[in-house]
Structure 1
Amino acid sequence: MDYAEFDASRDGAYAGLPIVQVPESDVTDPQELPAAEAAAWEIVGDYDDDGAEFEARFRRFAATVDLAKVSALVIGNWGGAYDNDPAKAIGLLTEHADRFPALRSLFFGAIEAEECEISWITQGDVTPLLAAFPLLERLDVRGGTGLLFPPVRHDNLRVLRFETGGLPASVVRGVGDSEFPALEYLELWLGTSNYGGDSSVADLESLLTGERLPALRHLGLQDSEIQDEVAAAVAAAPIVARLESLSLSMGILTDEGAEALLSGQPLTHLKRLDLHHHFLTAPMADRVRTAFADAGVKVDLSGQQKPNDDWRYVAVSE
């Protein structure tokens, strides 16, 4: 598995396709647009309306592009996302699900900070998207406020990512209690309690057994204010033995958490260990680097942070 393959949209691309925004007005010549299968189509509404513009653009998209060939969708601001939940946008997608037989990748809530900070995005229950698209292979969700994820089963999902400044504990438990037999890549930005990230290590228990994730090869438990406790739990977790890559990055990892990783179960079978944005001391960083060098594990220790007195911070919060 290519670790970088499942990064969020970068450089105007998503799921290996260039992002093309649905036109704001009617297209007089549809040939001006790329082929339906050659783009990740982005639908964005107005910053401060009630979703009317999002719906208008969705219907324009449906009338202009051959939806049967669309493989990737990027859903941006559904209209006043700082106040309005995405129920209308989800309803439009699920209502028209039968017109998207080729859809395999969906980024829901791809809203930039300049428009709405990640923890201002009002989310909702995103599991109807999985029910409506049983062939979906990738789901990325940004924003944790109001996010719901009751346990589900999905037989084809390979990639599941949550980008938040605070992931609700109920979502963590919902993911752990879901059945994902094909899931290879799972990434959770746990965040901080200041922005709704109220999960504890106990909430990770079902997930860390790996019983419902037989195909998992990458696990990311990131951006956490309890990163040391997460590291200690991972160091003894049954799921780790089958992983190819592990990310405990973006959080408040200190020497305590690194010591737990070094003294726990062997991690030298990993191809990659991502610890970037950490609070390790230089001697501990050297110990970690040396411990994995001989085994050929690629370790990312970039972004070494220094605490301000006793204050440490995650990479993404508000």
Structure 2
Amino acid sequence: MTVNEHIQQFHGLPVFDLYEAVVQDGELPDAASVAWKVGIEFDSSWTFVELWEHFTEKVDTARVTAVVVGEWSHDGPESFAEPLAAVLASADRLPGLRGLFIGDITYEENEISWIDMVDVTPVLTTFPLLRELVVRGASGQTVEGEGIGVQPVRHEHLRALRFESGGLPAQVLRAVASSDLPALERLEFWLGVAGYGGDATLDDLAPFLDGSRFPALRHLGLQDSEMQDEIAAAVAQAPVVARLESLNLSMGVLTDQGAAALLEGQPLTHLRALDLHHHFLTEAMQERVRQALPGVAVDLSVPGKPDDRWRYVAVAE
């Protein structure tokens, strides 16, 4: 499986594609009514920086609350460094920015392992009022650039943070674990596979499971992993689970072993939602999960074949 669709909603707003409007000479909506997507196409005569400048000139960016960064390269991987510099340079023109999604790029534009991401710490330090940040990109092992990354940081207002990668470096998890994020309510990691730089271990997940970090956390996602069974077993005993409202262990190679460990651990009936989609559970185990959690919205969609020797995560390349 791959990332095959652009997001339609972000930060509670419908996504509006600025480039499509420019090409079609369409009308622009009210600045505060949409999440503005700024991204080019491979055959575009525009560069990303040119389109970004058009955005800041034609839109009342003082009223913009959410931005989605789409494709910034024309042909193959190009570093996000220059586009990021343009975004950061416009910070004073985006005083209301509260949500930022970097890398709304499908596999038809660039495989996730080709999305040449950089360290995004400057986003957090430049936008101190940001509430939601999503970053999609490669580890740096499969592209020539720096790779997806972040450094330990204090941010007073960030409520939701998600890193999407086919191979998330352990450095990202360690930096987040060392960060001071008192308002953080939602945290998700697409861990990916070793072949694309996903080198996190259970030890790297421990700070998120022991309940000592992020007092406001109510949702945790540890997803897209080759060690999904081991993660499920660790989560089953994790102190943080008692204060979560939702849990996401989807997109990985979860089998009956991991699901059994999860059910045999601490109670999960207090959860509103448990996402296990893209799994390798038998039908009997799926029914056992449903019966054990009657009041929980359990997502068991996208089942794989339990006896398949070649189990795979949802997003890798």
Structure 1 and Structure 2 fold alike (TM over 0.5)? yes
> 1:279 deviation in Å?
0.9
Q: Which moved more, 1:228-237 or 1:296-305?
A: 296-305
d(CA) in 2 for partners of 1:18 and 1:37? 11
What residue in structure 2 maps to residue 152 of structure 1? 153
Over 3 Å counting, the alpha-carbon distance change for 1:182 and 1:25 in structure 2 is closer
Alignment: residue pair count: 305
Tell me, yes or no, if the aligned pair for 1:165 and 1:195 is still in contact at 8 Å: yes
What residue in structure 2 maps to residue 75 of structure 1? 69
Q: What is the letter of the counterpart of residue 40 of structure 1?
A: A
d(CA) in 2 for partners of 1:26 and 1:18? 18
Paired residue for 1:17, among 13, 32, 50?
13
Superposed, which structure 2 residues align to 1:83-122 within 5 Å?
A: 83-122=77-116
Deviations 1:72-128 (A, max 9, x none): 101112225843221111111111211111101111011121110112111110111
Tell me, yes or no, if the aligned pair for 1:222 and 1:249 is still in contact at 8 Å: yes
> 1:24 deviation in Å?
7.4
What residue in structure 1 maps to residue 229 of structure 2? 228
d(CA) in 2 for partners of 1:214 and 1:302? 31
Tell me, yes or no, if the aligned pair for 1:24 and 1:57 is still in contact at 8 Å: no
Instruction: Using the aligned pairs only, state the percent identity.
Output: 56
Q: What is the letter of the counterpart of residue 305 of structure 2?
A: K
Tell me, yes or no, if the aligned pair for 1:144 and 1:168 is still in contact at 8 Å: no
d(CA) in 2 for partners of 1:307 and 1:90? 43
Q: What is the letter of the counterpart of residue 302 of structure 1?
A: S
Paired residue for 1:45, among 24, 28, 40?
40
Scaled by the length of structure 2, what TM-score is found? Answer: 0.90
What residue in structure 2 maps to residue 5 of structure 1? none
Q: What is the letter of the counterpart of residue 297 of structure 2?
A: K
Q: Residue 300 in 1 paired to residue 299 in 2?
A: yes
Deviations 1:44-87 (A, max 9, x none): 135389x9711111111111111111111011122258432211
Over 3 Å counting, the alpha-carbon distance change for 1:246 and 1:196 in structure 2 is same
> 1:307 deviation in Å?
4.7
Tell me, yes or no, if the aligned pair for 1:275 and 1:300 is still in contact at 8 Å: yes
Superposed, which structure 2 residues align to 1:171-182 within 5 Å?
A: 171-182=172-183
Tell me, yes or no, if the aligned pair for 1:191 and 1:225 is still in contact at 8 Å: yes
What residue in structure 2 maps to residue 279 of structure 1? 280
Runs of 4+ aligned residues of structure 1 deviating over 6 Å after TM superposition are 24-27
> 1:209 deviation in Å?
2.1
Scaled by the length of structure 1, what TM-score is found? Answer: 0.89
> 1:19 deviation in Å?
2.0
SS at match of 1:38: coil
Q: Which runs of 5+ in 1 are unaligned?
A: 1-7
Q: Which moved more, 1:196-205 or 1:72-81?
A: 72-81
> 1:308 deviation in Å?
6.1
Over 3 Å counting, the alpha-carbon distance change for 1:213 and 1:53 in structure 2 is same
> 1:303 deviation in Å?
1.9
What residue in structure 2 maps to residue 199 of structure 1? 200
Q: What is the letter of the counterpart of residue 122 of structure 2?
A: P
d(CA) in 2 for partners of 1:70 and 1:277? 35
Tell me, yes or no, if the aligned pair for 1:177 and 1:207 is still in contact at 8 Å: no
What residue in structure 1 maps to residue 117 of structure 2? 123
Q: What is the letter of the counterpart of residue 114 of structure 1?
A: E
Q: Which runs of 5+ in 2 are unaligned?
A: 140-146
Tell me, yes or no, if the aligned pair for 2:282 and 2:306 is still in contact at 8 Å: no
Tell me, yes or no, if the aligned pair for 2:246 and 2:272 is still in contact at 8 Å: yes
What residue in structure 2 maps to residue 164 of structure 1? 165
What residue in structure 2 maps to residue 313 of structure 1? 312
d(CA) in 1 for partners of 2:69 and 2:266? 40
Deviations 1:166-217 (A, max 9, x none): 1111111112221111111111111111211111111111122232211111
d(CA) in 2 for partners of 1:237 and 1:25? 48
d(CA) in 2 for partners of 1:212 and 1:81? 41
Q: Which moved more, 1:122-131 or 1:40-49?
A: 40-49
